[in-house]
Amino acid sequence: MTDQAADTTLDTTTPGADPTGSLPDPIKKAQADAAEWQKRFAGLQGKYQQEQEKWATTAAKLLEIDESSKKLAADFEALKVAHQTVDEEKDTYLTELETTKAELERVSIITHEFPQLVPLLGTKPEEDALPDGSGDELRGKLKTLAEKIESIKKGAVDANLAGASPANPPAALKGNEALLKQALTAMHEGRMDDYNKLYTQYVESTSPKGG
């Protein structure tokens, strides 16, 4: 009988593995699970990246909206200031309009109802020697002034007829009426400074506090 040679080949197969070299079931399952988790992770990573991009886009839009909101707020404040300015200008215009209407009414009453007093209006506002007012109140003041002027003229005529010197009016023309006459004379001679002083004295002397 022939002796067989001893088999010195090492057995490198994994215990429990099948002779064909296939991996055992637990390892296959672990590899399959790992592959599944890797697939899921890759999907989640893509989803996470998408969410990050979406968040960045949303944050940019929010920042843009915030800037727009600030600009709108600034524009609104500017419009409020402009509106307030327009209101103030309108009030000023209406006030000036009322003043102009009142002055036109005053001049109309003087020129149409008391034409003999028109020279006392002067050619400049500062030369206006007639009283202020409106309506019946103004008419009353102008009537009183016109009557005084007429009385002065009559007194001057009477004095001239009696031989009195115009430079030295009689006692009847002294006091308030004399002041007014002197003021009118100064005005007609172009001495406006004297006229303003004399007429101011006349107004003060005829006012309630002036006696």
Three-state SS at 51: helix
With b for 16 or more beta-carbon neighbours within 10 A and e for fewer, the 154-187 pattern comes to ebbeebeeeeeeeeebeeebeebbbbbbbbbbbb
Residues of the chain below pLDDT 50: 1-14, 16-21, 164, 166-167, 169-173, 209-211
- Identify residue 128 by its one-letter amino acid code: D
- Report the pLDDT value the prediction gives residue 69, as an integer from 0 to 100: 87
- Report the pLDDT value the prediction gives residue 109, as an integer from 0 to 100: 93
- Report the pLDDT value the prediction gives residue 171, as an integer from 0 to 100: 47
- Report the pLDDT value the prediction gives residue 113, as an integer from 0 to 100: 92
Give the pLDDT confidence of 46-65 residue by residue, as tens digits. Answer: 777 888 888 888 888 888 89
Q: What is the pTM of this model?
A: 0.43
Stretch (H or E) spanning 183: helix 176-188
Residue 110: Cβ-neighbour burial (10 angstroms; 0-12, 13-18, 19+): buried
- Report the pLDDT value the prediction gives residue 140, as an integer from 0 to 100: 92
Residue keyed to tokens 């003999």 = 116
Residue 56 tokens, joined:
């960045």
